[in-house]
Chain A
């Protein structure tokens, strides 16, 4: 199994440009999450989804939108990129609330906004 796959791995954007980060998982997980990781800040939750067709805001949702049209995919969109969105973005997934499984993370997308 591939687990959680994130594309692209690296991207440089100019301020004001838009882009979509794709997360795909092949483990039939219900819950999916987008985190950003910044030096000295740790991982912070942007948005999450508890099932196909559902999304919810996390700790730092401003400037981002998400969609979960298919169970295996979770998309993160930046409509108008800002330098403050320079970060490493991680997608994660897990089984719902059974308490025996941790999260499976992707390898990350390193985004630079200039």
Chain B
């Protein structure tokens, strides 16, 4: 079965630096890969989606890359701010008619002032 690993449970960085989070998967490459942000006590919030034929996607200070050879996605937050502190979830969408996502366990990012 498909497995997803997010590189670390927690990542601490200094304000202004670039945060880089990693999502690795096994077996089949997904049709789409999505990233979500989750704050304590709240539901996940969709951030970005990247397709298997796309190498990179950007949205404001966020950048996602997708390498199907390495079976890896990187999620970058540039010029990080304390408000970026949250748990970030990677999710794979294998396509097809089911339309359901397989989620990683998340990486908790803490940005210190």
**Cβ–Cβ < 8 Å partners of B43 in chain A:** 4, 90, 92, 105-108
Taking a contact as CB atoms under 8 Å apart, the answer to whether A42 and B106 are in contact is yes
**Cβ–Cβ < 8 Å partners of B46 in chain A:** 101-104
A94 to B100 Cα, complex, angstroms: 10
The reply to whether the CB of A77 lies closer than 8 angstroms to some CB of chain B is: no
User: Number of B residues contacting the other chain (C-beta, 8 Å)?
Assistant: 24
Nearest-Cβ distance from residue B88 to partner chain A, whole angstroms: 12
Which of A4, A42, A102 is close to B104, meaning CB atoms less than 8 Å apart?
A42
Chain B at the A interface: SS class? loop
Closest to B104 in A: A42
**Cβ–Cβ < 8 Å partners of B100 in chain A:** 33, 45, 48, 58
The reply to whether the CB of A96 lies closer than 8 angstroms to some CB of chain B is: yes
Contact (A41, B49) CB under 8 Å given A50-B99, A108-B42: no
The reply to whether the CB of A56 lies closer than 8 angstroms to some CB of chain B is: yes
A16 to B75 Cα, complex, angstroms: 43
**Cβ–Cβ < 8 Å partners of B111 in chain A:** none
The reply to whether the CB of B82 lies closer than 8 angstroms to some CB of chain A is: no
Taking a contact as CB atoms under 8 Å apart, the answer to whether A102 and B99 are in contact is no
A-B contact pairs, 6 of them (CB 8 A): A33-B100, A45-B100, A97-B97, A99-B31, A100-B49, A102-B36
Q: Which residues of B contact A (CB under 8 A)?
A: 31-32, 34, 36, 41-47, 49, 51, 89, 95, 97-101, 103-106
Q: A42-B89, A42-B106, A99-B32 are in contact. List 19 more A-B contacts (CB 8 A).
A: A35-B103, A40-B105, A41-B105, A42-B104, A43-B44, A43-B101, A44-B103, A48-B100, A56-B98, A58-B100, A92-B43, A94-B99, A97-B95, A97-B97, A97-B99, A99-B51, A103-B34, A106-B43, A107-B42
